[in-house]
Structure 1
Amino acid sequence: MPRLAAPLTESQIRALEPRATRYSVADGNGLVIEVMTTGTKVWRFRYSLNGKRQPLATIGDYRMISLRVARAKAQKYAEMVAQGISPVATARRDRGAEVKADVLREAAELYMATEMAGKSDEYRRTTRRALHKDVLPAIGGMAIKAVTAQDVVDICERIKSRGSPKMALHTRNVIKRLYEYLIARQLAASNPAEVVPARSIATFDSRTRVLSGDEMGEMLYSIEASSIRRPLKLALHLLVLTMVRKSDLVESTWGEFDLDNALWRISAARLKKDADQLVHLPQQAVTMLRELHRTRASRTFVFPSVRGNDQPIAKSTLNQAVKALGLQVEHFVLHDFRRTASAHLREITEHAERDKTSAQSRQNASRDEPANDAAARRRIAQRWADFVEAQLDAARKRAGGAA
């Protein structure tokens, strides 16, 4: 029986460096990975037959065979050995089949099994959907190195012809990330998607970009399901609910909030304006702020820097968090939340009541606003929060149905 070994991980395998002489590291069940002096890594199967140790059976190049696939092959060979059958001939035939791993379809499967393993469920779902719906049907049978920029453009144009420019750009980005992975694994020499400008596929005027309800829900669900720090998740959600500027939120202090009365007063001095800005907080925002207050790491700032220097997080932190998620919503900036809220609120308030108070006028409320105006603004804030919550709930259900 092969000796027991601690199972390897993909990250451990990637970290294996060449030495002056080649060496092997065991994964278990007879599976080992041999690291050559050139840095090439090859899967082998170690076994004994009729009581005698046999030469290693070669499974194949690590660049083309994932850990999961190598383990499956080792298990198959171990079962053959248990029956007294040498796996060498079978392994040789399998290696012949592995030559096909240089086609994009096989490479995409390797990408999903390794690089995507640690990503969120939603990120894996949207990536797999783009690959299987548009990329692989078009170029999946092509050799990795044969795919050109024109192939990428053709895929994107077909998607755009369906009236989905954002999906076209998302698909281009999926191909770009796939090839970045293949280049790192030495399976590709260049990236055909990198030379296709994003703006040649879809361009959005930064002054008119408005997220649809579905886009808003998908974005919030992706944030919710991600691995970013909880305070950053809440910050992004609060940015949607309160409709304030990013800097107003990230630099906020606990002294500005009256959570018992669901009010947030941003001082005129901080805003560099003539009057304070009064923000009426919906129930959902109050709940999030109470959670942040219970777990606060600073007596002053709502979103303190992790450096512990009693400063707020950098203004770029939320942008970086969103960018790291690789969200499907393309050509989006955080300021679009305010524009989106204003657009949807107009429709919501028109359906709900004759009060035409807009999101912007709510933000410009003064210290002495009339009581009836305050009540109207509270109603609008809560209607907006309920609308946002409905979009998030719908996205959760879609994700659950797709799982």
Structure 2
Amino acid sequence: MARQIKPLSSTQCDGAKPKEKDYNLYDGQGLILFVRKNGSKVWRFKYKRTNGKDGLMTLGNYPALTLKEARERRAIYLNQLANNIDPIDQIKIEEAKNSDDFSFEKIARDWHKAYKDTGKWNDDTANKALSNFETYVFPLIGKLPIDSVKTKDLYYVLSKIEEKGFLEVVIKTRQRFSGIFAYAITKGYLDSSPAVVLNNAIKITRKTKHYPKLPLNQLPEFFSRLRNDGGNPISKLCLEFALHTFARSSELRFARWKEFNFDKKIWTLPPSRVSVR
């Protein structure tokens, strides 16, 4: 049977004298008046944390924090625990909200580091992901507190990237939004994610982009730059061959040596491959 603890009185708190060693006076339900050997008195709250470990919080000095006020603090923390909220974690979150640590950019960078540390990204992919956020996302919503970012804010960012024609970046950014807000939820910063509905709200449409034709008088310069280019030699030769023959890419890619008669300077395409597109 648990030992019954008689609540403290203000008279007991006032009259608590220092001893050779520090000692505790118990008010019950985790509230403790800690009396130091130098005579100072401090309110503490001891409880079992949501992670199963023991938690100990310092509430303030007595008598600056009265017995009544200390009990009011205890009532708040007991209510949080009843709702599966750890008071120590909650205080850290509230402190973070009053600093840049709670901004979307800070949380996104924390998520990026955590995800990179899993080994699912190589360095190149990780650097590209962060660069995309620094270029397209942080300038628009980076300074917003993470819990104030709405779905419409994320939609706006994605629409701006889509306007630039970077459709792959849109898809990757949308996926990473989901990861960032899931990370924020596990940290206790949010209860729900504004990125959940983005998959249904945004339809990626690939627009055909036609490049302007190259004027004939610029062909000599083009061939000169092509030959001096440091790219793959085979790719350069294929491009030049296509320009001379007007062959389709499939006809060129599947070409075989037996199709070429170098004496007659004729390339004969078999009927079975002419239709390949």
Task: Compare CA radii of gyration and give the structure with the larger one.
Answer: 2
TM-score (norm 2): 0.44
Q: Which has the higher contact order (CA 8 A, sep 6+)?
A: 1
TM-score (norm 1): 0.32
